[in-house]
A and B are shown apart, each in its own frame.
Chain A
Amino acid sequence: MRRLLIKHDSVRDVLIFLLPSFLGFCIFILFPIIASVGLSFTNYRGGKTIAFVGLKNYLIAFHSSGFQEAFWVTLTFVVFTVFFQIVLGLVFALILNQKIVGRSFFRGIIFLPVVLSTIAISLAFMLIFNPQKGPVNNFLMSIGFDPLAWLASPKTSLMTVIIVTVWRQFGYYMVLLLCGLQTINPTLYEAAEIDGADSVRKFRHVTLPMLTPILFLCIILALIQAFQVFDQIFVLTGGQQGGGPAGSTTTLVFDIYLNAFNNWQMGYSCAEAIILLIIILVITVIQYKRQQKWVTYDII
């Protein structure tokens, strides 16, 4: 409006407002991020000696079976949790977007696990999935199925962690998607009705296209969240020594933790961390590029 009159604020004013957040941010966040890249090229083990080793840590990682296994565990975990969180989130958002009696009650209940401590929840699930006498196995046996080992077997432990994670998180995406649904202009539905669209068509041609921006955001958030998973794995599958039976739930983040704070291979662990960061960045950029094809931004 008054572009010509725009002046910069005084340096003093800017610093007063910027420094409380920015100074500490540089010291405790930004510097460690940069230092992490630097350390990944060294053999640092937490002691006094440190030497530059070039790309050695990265080469070791790519050839180590432990790293490759952690990579596949992470990928499996990410794909399944993101898929089920978004699908369940969307289904319940669509249901709750109808005229439902007790809507805020149901929304509150489904969202509730999101705010609770992962540690406490994980402990409750350990009781529920107890292989010898837990209620879930008792139930399976009472309807004629074989009991499962759940967290105790390398075959089912990752699946169990995925179940707990989806249980805890899908309410978050439901709330986000529900907010997205409520911003859709009702006249669009009226127009579709006039054109003779049934509910399936209205969903395909109105709801889904209008929802894509928020759906895109949900997928990005869910991906970043899933890559970071730690607490559940720590508690559900064995704490300090962790990573589940036969490393079946050792994700990249957990491997970073073990290598850094149990094996004190800090240089190597930083290299793993940087690989993780690159994976997350690449996925985000790919998603961002692809969104132009499927995300509708012209909101009426």
Chain B
Amino acid sequence: MRRKKINPWVILGYICLVVATLVVLFPLAVMVSSSFKDEMAIFDYPIKFIPENPILDNYRQLGEHFPRYIMNSFKVTIIIVIAQFITATTGGYAFAKLRWKGRDTVFLIYIGALMIPLQVYIIPQFILIRKIGLYDSHLALVLVSTFTALGTFLFKQFFMTIPDSLIESAKLDGATQIQIFTRIILPLSKPVIATQAILSFRWFWNDFFSPLIYITSEHLKTLPLGLADFASEYYTYYGPQMAASVLSIIPVMVLFFVAQKYIVQGIFTSGIKG
């Protein structure tokens, strides 16, 4: 660390940090406090962050649909986290540790194509999903969300740090590639697996675009889609909207505070191409 005297710049720095903290927390505080207020009290000014007469009515109104949305979101998100884990680890291994012709070209195509925004190819993908009869199903969401540039990249980078000699000596002992992968490589990768699982959980939990395109049935909607539809239906009722918003951010918020270290780590490794 650099040695530094307390100077006016540091004080200015603290002021900036405090202002930023307030600006970031303000909308969230409004969201949470409004979810416990009736419609009249929501727009009281100056804002009372602690409601005078807290009510639970806003949450009660969510009882009809939201338990279903939350269940759907958990179900699809967990399946996608597992599917992404499988494709990202096997793919990462094939690109990092197996030797085959054209490997680096295929890797470039894989990562490059996955970097292209979904909206560029959403129409043919939509037609394809409809043709094979998967429109309006959770399977459609899983199939289009399973392939991850970030995850594959993350695992490839990590696998490359594992010495080849480890794999070679296992081979000499007669281990097959699958045994090497499941018994040596995966156990070594626990921190990366955690990072990737958290990143993909957060990603699909918040994903709005593919559910918007692929899901129409009420009973199949995931939380972001259900939330947006609920809000456009009850657009004049802020209380229930805020209650629903609070519900939808709680799981990621908990995840974030428990596992911040892994999230930052993941951004770091994927950002700086090591």
Contact = CB atoms under 8 A, between A and B. Distances in A.
B142 to A, nearest CB: 10
A100 B123 contact: no
B114 to A, nearest CB: 6
Interface in B96-150: 98-101, 106, 109-110, 113-128, 143-144, 146-147
A40 B88 CA distance: 32
A9 B106 contact: no
B107 to A, nearest CB: 10
Contact of A28 (B46, B125, B264): B125
Nearest to A190: B2
A52 interface: no
Contacts of A14: 94, 98, 100
Contact of B256 (A112, A234, A235): A112
Contact of A120 (B100, B125, B249): B249
A182 to B, nearest CB: 9
A112 B27 CA distance: 12
A287 B228 CA distance: 36
Contacts, number: 287
B152 interface: yes
Interface string B6-48: 0001100110110011011111101100100000001101110
B228 A234 contact: yes
Contacts of A214: 271-272
Contact of B248 (A115, A119, A274, A277): A119
Most buried by B among A18, A32, A257: A32
Interface stretch (B58-66, B188-196, B205-213): B205-213
Most buried by A among B9, B17, B127: B17
B147 A21 contact: yes
B166 interface: no
A98 B4 CA distance: 9
A30 B113 contact: yes
Interface string B216-246: 0000000110011001100000100110111
B12 to A, nearest CB: 9
A253 B119 contact: yes
A35 interface: yes
B146 A24 contact: yes
A106 interface: yes
Interface in B38-92: 42-43, 45-47, 86-88, 90-91
Contacts of A253: 117, 119
A24 B147 contact: yes
B144 A28 contact: yes
Contact of A176 (B16, B260, B267): B267
A231 to B, nearest CB: 5
Given A32-B128, A33-B113, A183-B272, A95 B13 contact: yes
A99 B1 contact: yes
B24 A120 contact: no
Contacts of A32: 121-125, 128
A65 interface: no
B267 A123 contact: no
Interface string B243-273: 0111011001101110010011001100111
A9 B99 contact: yes
Nearest to A252: B119
Contacts of B1: 99, 186
9 nearest CB pairs, A to B: A21-B91, A35-B124, A120-B245, A21-B87, A17-B94, A32-B124, A32-B121, A138-B45, A32-B125
B245 A123 contact: yes
B100 to A, nearest CB: 5
A130 B27 CA distance: 13
Contact of A175 (B10, B16, B31, B264): B264
Interface in A140-198: 142, 167, 171-172, 175-176, 179-180, 183, 186, 189
A29 B117 contact: no
A7 B90 contact: no
Contact of B109 (A30, A112, A180): A30
Most buried by A among B4, B122, B244: B122
Given A116-B252, A117-B252, A127-B238, A273 B101 contact: no
B253 A257 contact: no
Given A29-B147, A117-B206, A280 B248 contact: no
B227 A123 contact: yes
Contacts of B267: 172, 175-176, 179
23 contacts: A18-B94, A20-B86, A21-B94, A21-B147, A25-B87, A25-B114, A28-B143, A29-B114, A32-B128, A36-B124, A95-B16, A100-B14, A123-B231, A123-B245, A127-B30, A176-B267, A186-B1, A189-B2, A217-B271, A240-B232, A256-B119, A273-B121, A277-B120
Contact of B24 (A110, A138, A224): A110
A125 interface: yes
A127 to B, nearest CB: 5
A44 B127 CA distance: 11
Contacts of A112: 24, 28, 253, 256
